[in-house]
Amino acid sequence: MTPRTRTGAAALAALLLTAAAGCAVDGRAPGRPAGPSGPAHRTAAPGAASAPASFTLVASGDVLPHDSIIQQAAVDAGGAGYDFRPMLLGVKPVVSAADLAICHMETVYGEKGGPYTGYPAFKSPPEVAVALKETGYDSCSTASNHTLDDGAAGLGRTLDALDRAGVRHAGSARTAEEAARPTLLKAGGATVAQLAYTYDTNGYPLPEGRPWAVNLIDEHEIVADARAAREAGADVVVVSIHWGTEWQTAPDEQQLTLGRALTASRTGDRPDIDLVLGTHSHVPQAYEKVNGTWIVYGMGDQIAGDMINHSGSYDRRGNEGTLGRFTFAPPTAPGRRWEVTRAEFVPQFFDTARGRVVNLNDAIRKGEGRYVEIRDAVREVVLGRGADHDGLVMGE
């Protein structure tokens, strides 16, 4: 389950392969019209050179609107609904500057006007989607343990709201046809596929007759979906994955084992997966280059209230996180992969006293020394598996 806060309440389906269906406790199509469901908004300029262009991809962790976050958005809206945009202003320069920006929308949206709820069964205001778009996000993973908190209706409302805002999505679906198609995005000179999966749905069963509604983790299905995405035209395949152990900064055995398997999978001389982006642990976890491919085991939370750990105490780590920024360059020869030529992490923190996401390096540069300890703690975890020796650097 997802920790409560201080103020919170107590591939291709039949055509190729879909994500696994199963439960335990605890895309858009090529050729679809542009607009809310069309390609990401950053594309090559008309008349640009025909040679493929490099691109930057930025990714961030869990967007988790607890009750206190919803209340803050109401205050920021001045009594006229909910406004989540001010919360994200601190990272907007990093996100909006990327050629492609990916977030993780952990919760589902309630009906317009509410009621809205935080932990344990989340129903967030759909205005979150507008804020994500205006911050610069192009697509969100929507597969998490909370995807079915309000059943098929909540899942559908969430994807509808993201569509209206112009934010693409991967990991959950309203129809079998939607589930059967990879989410394809344009960035620089590349077509990027985003695939997304979760370890579980908190014991909520998949909706009757809809085994494709939420993508569940299965190594073989993920690889099959990645290969199908290549066949559909993807130059770069990104896997967003909701996994790991809550409150544990070290990747657990599933993360290590599955990470090795996914990055080792190849078709010919080309890896099937080019980047793995992890969420769920609610604390920052390490970055690591495995089999030549970058894995972010856990990006931590981007938006969350004061987080309470399993011992019942406030734990600052639950508000720490990173944005990953990866620069991809075109293949140097036919049949080769797009290579990550620069890998960076940008430490961030959701300051619940201010109700704002803070770019820690930017804040420290402006004289806010109280964030130095937090920044250094995040950096220590991120580099804990030696990623600096493979070229990972801390970005601004």
What per-residue confidence (pLDDT) applies to 392? 98
What per-residue confidence (pLDDT) applies to 388? 98
The set of long-range contacts for 75-82, using a CB threshold of 8 Å and a minimum separation of 24, is 75/355, 76/355, 77/127, 81/125, 81/127, 82/125, 82/127, 82/128
Tokens of residue 349, six digits: 């923190």
What per-residue confidence (pLDDT) applies to 2? 57
Question: Residue 299: what are its φ and ψ, rounded to 5°?
Answer: -90, -5
Nearest alpha-carbon partner for 70 in 22, 28, 126, 14 = 126
Q: Which domains does the chain have, with CATH numbers?
A: 55-394 (3.60.21.10)
What per-residue confidence (pLDDT) applies to 79? 86
What per-residue confidence (pLDDT) applies to 50? 62
Place of tokens 């990104």: 238
The set of long-range contacts for 252-257, using a CB threshold of 8 Å and a minimum separation of 24, is 254/199, 255/297
For the CA atoms of 304, 169, 221, 144, the dihedral, rounded to the nearest 10 degrees, stands at 20
Residue 344 neighbours by CB distance under 10 Å: 20
HSE-CB at 45 with a 13 A cutoff on CA atoms is: 3
pLDDT per residue of the chain (396 residues) written in tens, 0 to 9: 555 554 333 333 333 333 333 332 223 333 333 333 334 444 444 444 467 899 999 999 999 999 999 999 999 999 899 999 999 999 999 999 999 999 999 999 999 999 999 999 999 999 999 999 999 999 999 999 999 999 999 999 999 999 999 999 999 999 999 999 999 999 999 999 999 999 999 999 999 999 999 999 999 999 999 999 999 999 999 999 999 999 999 999 999 999 999 999 999 989 999 999 999 999 999 999 999 999 999 999 999 999 999 999 999 999 999 999 999 999 999 889 999 999 999 999 999 999 999 999 999 999 999 999 999 999 999 999 999 999 999 999
Cis, peptide link before residue 115, omega less than 30° from 0: yes
What per-residue confidence (pLDDT) applies to 14? 35
What per-residue confidence (pLDDT) applies to 293? 98
What per-residue confidence (pLDDT) applies to 265? 98
